[in-house]
Amino acid sequence: MNKKTRITRLLKSTPDGQIVTVKGWVRTFRNNQFIALNDGSTIVNLQVVVDRETLPEDILKRITPGAALIATGKLIESQGHGQAMELVAAEILITGDSNADTYPLQPKRHSLEFLRKNGHLRFRTQTFGAIFRIRHHLAYAIHKFFNDRGFFYLNTPIITGSDAEGAGEMFRLTTLDLNNVPKTDDGHVDYSNDFFAKETNLTVSGQLEAELGAMALSNVYTFGPTFRAENSNTTRHLAEFWMVEPEIAFSDLDDDMDLAENMLQYVIGYVLEHGKLDLEFLAKRLENEEKNKPQNERSFPLLEKLQGIIDDKFERITYTEAFNILRNSKPNKKGKFAYPVEEWGMDLQSEHERFLVEKKFKKPVIITDYPKGIKAFYMRMNDDGKTVAAMDILVPGIGELVGGSQREERLDVLHDRMKEMNIPIEEMQWYLDTRVYGSCPHAGFGLGFERLVLFVTGMTNIRDVIPFPRFPGSAEF
């Protein structure tokens, strides 16, 4: 079964009549003669030419969209115009038929909604093939980026016994009989007989554990599944998503921003090089999609947008600067914002982020030094006593792509902050110990991997860039 050549490799060879075997799925069959065969290795189909004089009638009838087959024959320069080479089949072996009457995918454009409903087959379309190849390249590039810079890949727990991460609603995990939940005398759930003998959840972030690693290995990163039980119904949220969380010791917020910016530029450069054909396809797709939109609603052409990320430095402004820009902006003065910008300390809404990124600066913007009231307990207090050393990277079309901060390394300050925000200090001693023993300035950030894939592919719904999306009311497969 191993004697096959993947189409991506064939395309790099010179066709001179060599005998090759390809294995893949039929996309279309034209003129009873031309099979467009795709094996998933590339978006490009290989044209397999069959001789209908010699090919048995029953085989000919079974070459239908979606059918799996093995074709062996000579690879020659194509006599047609649409492709450089083609395979003249001497032998066709169909390994799996596909009933054309019931196969949902037709050789035509389908809506993303329809393909979402047929999620088990959408991998076989050009669009989703491209998306998931790009997703792979991005994941690989992230590992490569960190590895090449001396970072260690640290696996933080998926099942967590810590409920103080404060990043959102958690999924509870238990083996208790839900029809007969044991209770303690005071009426609470008795976890003493549960699998872990305590309350456990699916992780919402590996950051706190990553900090433990960074305080010994210096530079670490996590890249794993993350879960949020929020009832979020948007095109940018999932209940199960993948997050990248580097953590760097002896570093401050500037180092953190540099790391994030360099990483984004590196991985986007990597896909521009290694996922060129897929990106070109997605770019054309986006262009067609937006043909009917009025000019001012169209997004920037995909490839130029990605090249711009590499060529341009990100804009860096403080929350206070952003606040002033927004307060004095035209839409704010004309009352166009649903949330007027009036009081320092307010959280920035989507409409504000979009104004800054898409109208004002027209490139990624890093906003730093947020008011302490709207940020997490572990972020380092600035000298003004009002803001923390936090940073969010906002990008066009997505909004928040990265959220990070310098961590509070001073035990007394951290202690006070935790008290202030009602974080259970007793349960967090393991975390505080990093500040008790050999504390140092350190920083890190979280990158929503699917949001990165959204940004790079130009797709607009996050459910289309993860193979098996989980969201409120839906956990198919």
Partner RNA sequence: GCCCCUUUAGCUCAGCUGGUUAGAGCGCCGGACUGUUAAUCCGUAGGUCCAAGGUUCAAGUCCUUGAAGGGGCGCCA
Region 216-235 residues binding RNA, contact defined as CB under 7 A = 228, 230-235
Residue 454, CA distances (Å) to 124, 140, 396 in order = 19, 16, 11
Q: How far is the CB of 102 from RNA (least distance, A)?
A: 8
User: Could you please report the per-residue DSSP string of 191-218?
Assistant: GGGSTTSS-EEE-S-SHHHHHHHHHHHS
Q: Using CB under 7 A, which of 446, 453, 456, 457 touches RNA?
A: 446
3-state helix/strand/coil string of 292-325: CCCHHHCCCCHHHHHHHHHHCCCEEEEHHHHHHH
Q: How far is the CB of 458 from RNA (least distance, A)?
A: 13
Q: Using CB under 7 A, which of 91, 114, 181, 345 touches RNA?
A: 114
Which range, of 110-118, 129-137, 192-200, 253-261, touches RNA by CB under 7 A?
110-118
Q: How far is the CB of 99 from RNA (least distance, A)?
A: 7
Q: Using CB under 7 A, which of 2, 31, 95, 179 touches RNA?
A: 31
Q: Using CB under 7 A, which of 39, 209, 256, 450 touches RNA?
A: 450
Locate 2 and state its tokens: 């191993």
Q: Using CB under 7 A, which of 107, 161, 373, 467 touches RNA?
A: 107
For residues 67 and 198, which CB has a smaller minimum distance to RNA in the complex?
A: 67
Write phi, then psi, for 459 (nearest 5 degrees).
Answer: -70, 165
Judged by CB under 7 A, does residue 276 bind RNA? no
Across the strands, what pairs with 360? none
Judged by CB under 7 A, does residue 436 bind RNA? no
Q: How far is the CB of 187 from RNA (least distance, A)?
A: 26
User: Could you please report the per-residue DSSP string of 314-364?
Assistant: PEEEEHHHHHHHHHTSHHHHTT--SS---STTPPPPHHHHHIIIIIIISS-
Tell me, by CB under 7 A, how many residues bind RNA.
73
Q: How far is the CB of 327 from RNA (least distance, A)?
A: 17
Across the strands, what pairs with 393? 366, 402
Q: How far is the CB of 130 from RNA (least distance, A)?
A: 15
- Cα–Cα distance between 341 and 356 in angstroms, integer? 13
Across the strands, what pairs with 388? 370, 381
Q: How far is the CB of 35 from RNA (least distance, A)?
A: 9
Considering only residues 194 to 213 of the shown chain, the ones binding RNA according to CB under 7 A are 205
Helix (H) / strand (E) containing 85: strand 85-96
Considering only residues 34 to 73 of the shown chain, the ones binding RNA according to CB under 7 A are 34, 36, 47, 49, 51-53, 64-65
Is 75 strand, coil or helix?
strand
Q: Using CB under 7 A, which of 91, 347, 384, 427 touches RNA?
A: 347
Locate 203 and state its tokens: 């992780």
Considering only residues 130 to 189 of the shown chain, the ones binding RNA according to CB under 7 A are 167-168
Q: Using CB under 7 A, which of 8, 307, 318, 349 touches RNA?
A: 349
Judged by CB under 7 A, does residue 243 bind RNA? yes
- Cα–Cα distance between 366 and 323 in angstroms, integer? 13
For residues 273 and 476, which CB has a smaller minimum distance to RNA in the complex?
A: 476
Q: Using CB under 7 A, which of 133, 135, 137, 236 touches RNA?
A: 236
- Cα–Cα distance between 22 and 89 in angstroms, integer? 10
Q: Using CB under 7 A, which of 81, 291, 330, 334 touches RNA?
A: 81
- Cα–Cα distance between 406 and 68 in angstroms, integer? 53
Q: Where do the H-state alpha helices sit in 94-205? A: 112-117, 126-148
User: Is the Cβ–Cβ distance between 242 and 223 less than 8 Å?
Assistant: yes
Q: Using CB under 7 A, which of 82, 157, 182, 345 touches RNA?
A: 82
Judged by CB under 7 A, does residue 104 bind RNA? yes
Considering only residues 361 to 420 of the shown chain, the ones binding RNA according to CB under 7 A are 399-403
Q: How far is the CB of 380 from RNA (least distance, A)?
A: 16
Q: Using CB under 7 A, which of 351, 358, 416, 433 touches RNA?
A: 351
Radius of gyration of the chain from its Cα atoms, rounded to whole angstroms: 27
